[in-house]
Amino acid sequence: MWTNDERGELEQVLAWLPEAMRPGGVVVTLAYHSGEDRSIKRALRGARMTRPARRLPEIPGSRPPEGPWDELTHRVVTPSNAEKARNPRARSARLRAFRRKTR
């Protein structure tokens, strides 16, 4: 991962996706490392992941702006026990799917 700068490549792709996808387009990701999955989740969930600092007063009626994606898999999809038995390498796979909002 370090030698090929896979983390940097992933960050570049995630930054490029909103411009590259047409409204209604679907992105499906498959990550094998928790760090990759975390980056994907944060980038595609967008501002919904951010929370205000605990010491700042909450502004009534304010919400963080929504990102350009609708999450199709509300939770990460992992392989079943049967799949892991057939294919041990699948044990760390994490699948997420998002759809580009039509605005």
> pTM of the entire structure?
0.74
In the chain, what percentage of residues exceed pLDDT 70? Answer: 81
> What are 29's strand-pairing partners?
96
What's the pLDDT score for residue 4? 77
Confidence of residue 64 (pLDDT cuts 50, 70, 90): low
Question: Residue 2, by phi and psi: left (phi above 0), alpha (psi -120 to 50) or beta?
Answer: alpha
The CATH topology of domain 22-48+64-103 is: Rossmann fold (3.40.50)
For residue 43, the tally of other CB atoms under 10 A from its CB is 20
What residues does each domain of the chain span?
A: 22-48+64-103
